[in-house]
Amino acid sequence: MGNHWHLVVRPGTDDALGRFMGWIGVTHVRRHHAHYHTRGGGHLYQGRFKSFPIQEESHFLNVCRYVEANAARAGLILRAEDWPWGGLYARRRGGKPFTLGQWPVDRPRDWRAQVNASLDEKQLQQLRTCVNRGRPFGDPNWVQRIAKRLGLEFTLRNAGRPRKREGQ
């Protein structure tokens, strides 16, 4: 993707994600400016990174499918394993996959086929809402519990100001 990237990260501490994203962003920007000889050229990214909690099992796998199929969904390639900066590409060619640690669930045997199969429109919309709002992604009861525990209840409400009730 020319204007963004997706990472599925499982931080070990409360502040690890912010520190990791700060490090990776600064490192990438410096390398970009050095490569293109644009030192002091300013920001490459708009806004802060987006993140949301993910329930393990099928929800985790759906997020990984979404991430690994992103370039194919955007029409940049035909099949997800053809994206040279993706995990499927590295695994298919025997290279080092882009993982910093073990997945919390096993990757299915037919993983490549699952990634290349389209997510249904409802799943896709739900995932995009989680990305944009920082809403936890999982079963409804899990989402409620995690949102309350992490102080993310606001992500469960619709965006914007509530409608005025009659008589107010």
What average pLDDT does the segment 47-54 reach? 87
What average pLDDT does the segment 30-34 reach? 86
Residues in Cβ contact with 97 at an 8 Å cutoff, skipping those fewer than 6 apart:
87, 90, 91
**Of 20-29, 62-71, 92-101, 109-118, which gets the smallest average pLDDT?**
92-101
* C-alpha gyration radius of the chain: 18
Instruction: Sketch the domain layout of the chain as residue ranges.
Output: 1-49
**What is the identity of the amino acid at 15?**
D
Q: How far apart are CA 59 and CA 137, in angstroms?
A: 7
pLDDT value, residue 91: 80
Q: How far apart are CA 72 and CA 83, in angstroms?
A: 8
Percent of the chain exceeding pLDDT 70 equals 92
* DSSP string covering 62-125: HHHHHHHTHHHHTTS-SSGGG-TTSHHHHHHTTS--S-SS--SSPPPTTHHHHHHSPPPHHHHH
